[in-house]
């Protein structure tokens, strides 16, 4: 169910609805840029409160990025110190970490061994608590529902659910509401915030690159102003650095699994219908045929001889094809505005 792991008619229906709804609520438009910039200002204030002292950026970056997707899903943002919000993020982060652990991977193949794995029990408990949290939010939206004032994705889904209430096999079930919300939240929060953390760490490791970004911004942006999306095309070096951060960090080395709809013959191998296929994105992001120095952090991978930004065919951190990440457009907006905004206000150095 949901978007990421559905197939056939359900997948096509949910993907089409989700893309349309995300556009309706500003993704790719000026309205969502304004929301992101508001969050950038809040994040900058939080950073300023430390007066240059070192601190762990993990939770605050996750909170800021998650607030953007929360505003799209629920029509509201949370304060950074909201205990319910922090608990929600903690559960998602913990599950993201544990789902890649050896014990949970073993449990996925051999569920009968679950009694041996405390990690798998933690994941399942977090999922139960996360589901309960979302069900409470859904109920609040149902009670306050106003078809003339849809506040976000959840309200739009409830409206569609109401319209198709008499259809016996509608894709707009309560289960799909839950899993679609989880898919969008997961896709729109942890991966983007982790990429931003990688970006800040790499700027500390390569101060000369950080300095060149700030010099580029000084030439493009008015004093006292933060970068806007319209500035991106005038900042080729910053754009190249952001792309190289995603390529080098490679935080999602494997894409979401897919399934063959029919028997497929590929390079002499027969792949039967229904076979699970997992794309290895890292094979493209580190391919020596496409990257001059694949093992090094090198923004020139995305620059031509004149310093202009160039697109690269092997750059596929969001996967490729019809199953590519739905949140790519939003993620690219967030990465630019958060990363450039922070570097506009601060110089990042190791403690």
> Which residues does 166 contact at the CB level (< 8 Å), separation at least 6?
none
| Nearest CA among 216, 265, 261, 218 for reference residue 239 | 216
Q: How far apart are the first and last CA of the chain?
A: 45
70 is in an annotated binding site: no
| Per-residue pLDDT at 68 | 96
User: pLDDT truncated to tens, each residue of the chain (351 aa)?
Assistant: 788 778 888 889 999 999 999 989 888 778 899 999 999 999 999 999 999 999 999 999 999 999 999 999 999 999 999 998 898 888 888 887 777 667 666 666 667 666 556 777 888 888 899 899 899 999 999 999 999 999 999 999 999 999 998 888 899 999 999 999 988 887 778 899 999 999 999 999 999 999 999 999 999 999 999 999 999 999 999 999 999 999 999 999 988 888 898 999 999 999 999 998 889 999 999 999 999 999 999 999 999 999 999 999 999 999 998 888 888 999 999 999 999 999 999 999 998
Q: What is the pLDDT of residues 292-321, one digit of tens each?
A: 999 999 999 999 999 999 999 999 999 998
Tell me the CA distances in angstroms from 327 to 183, 186, 187, 348, one per residue in order. Answer: 10, 10, 7, 28
d(CA 172, CA 149): 20
Cα of 169 vs its chain's centroid, Å: 30
Taking the domains of the chain in order of start, what are their residue ranges? 8-345
Residue by residue, DSSP assigns 141-186 as: HHHT--TTS--SHHHHHHHHHHHTTT-TT-S--HHHHHHHHHHHHH
pTM: 0.91
d(CA 340, CA 238): 8
| Per-residue pLDDT at 27 | 83
| Per-residue pLDDT at 189 | 85
* Domain 8-345 listed as CATH 1.10.630.10: yes
| Per-residue pLDDT at 116 | 57
Angle in degrees, CA 182, 187, 188, rounded to 5: 100
């Amino acid at each position: 169910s949901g978007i990421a792991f559905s197939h056939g008619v359900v997948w096509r229906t949910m993907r089409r609805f989700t893309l349309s709804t995300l556009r309706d609520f500003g993704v790719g438009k000026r309205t969502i840029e304004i929301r992101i910039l508001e969050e950038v200002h809040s994040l900058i204030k939080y950073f300023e409160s430390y007066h240059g002292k070192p601190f762990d950026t993990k939770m605050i970056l996750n909170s800021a990025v998650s607030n953007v997707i929360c505003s799209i899903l629920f029509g509201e943002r949370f304060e950074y110190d909201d205990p319910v919000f922090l608990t929600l993020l903690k559960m998602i982060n913990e599950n993201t970490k544990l789902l890649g652990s050896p014990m949970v991977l073993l449990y996925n193949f051999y569920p009968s061994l679950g009694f041996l794995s405390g990690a798998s029990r933690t994941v399942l408990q977090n999922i139960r608590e996360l589901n309960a949290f979302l069900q409470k939010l859904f109920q609040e939206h149902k009670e306050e529902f106003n078809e003339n004032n849809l506040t976000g994705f959840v309200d739009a889904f409830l409206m569609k659910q109401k319209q198709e209430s008499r259809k016996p096999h509608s894709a707009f079930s309560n289960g799909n509401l839950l899993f679609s919300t989880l898919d969008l939240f997961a896709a729109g929060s942890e991966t983007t915030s982790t990429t931003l953390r990688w970006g800040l760490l790499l700027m500390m490791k390569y101060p000369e690159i950080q300095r060149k970004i700030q010099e580029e911004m000084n030439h493009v942006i008015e004093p006292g102003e933060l970068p806007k999306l319209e500035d991106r095309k005038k900042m080729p070096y910053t754009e190249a650095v952001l792309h190289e951060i995603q390529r080098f960090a490679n935080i999602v080395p494997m894409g979401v699994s897919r399934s063959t709809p029919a028997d497929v013959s590929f390079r002499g191998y027969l792949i039967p219908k229904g076979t699970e296929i997992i794309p290895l994105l890292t094979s493209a992001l580190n391919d020596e045929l496409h990257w001059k120095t694949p093992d090094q952090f090198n923004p020139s991978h995305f620059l031509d001889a004149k310093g202009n930004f160039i697109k690269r065919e092997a750059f596929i951190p969001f996967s490729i094809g019809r199953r590519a990440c739905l949140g790519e457009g939003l993620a690219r907006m967030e990465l630019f505005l958060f990363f450039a905004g922070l570097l506009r206000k601060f110089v990042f150095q190791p403690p």
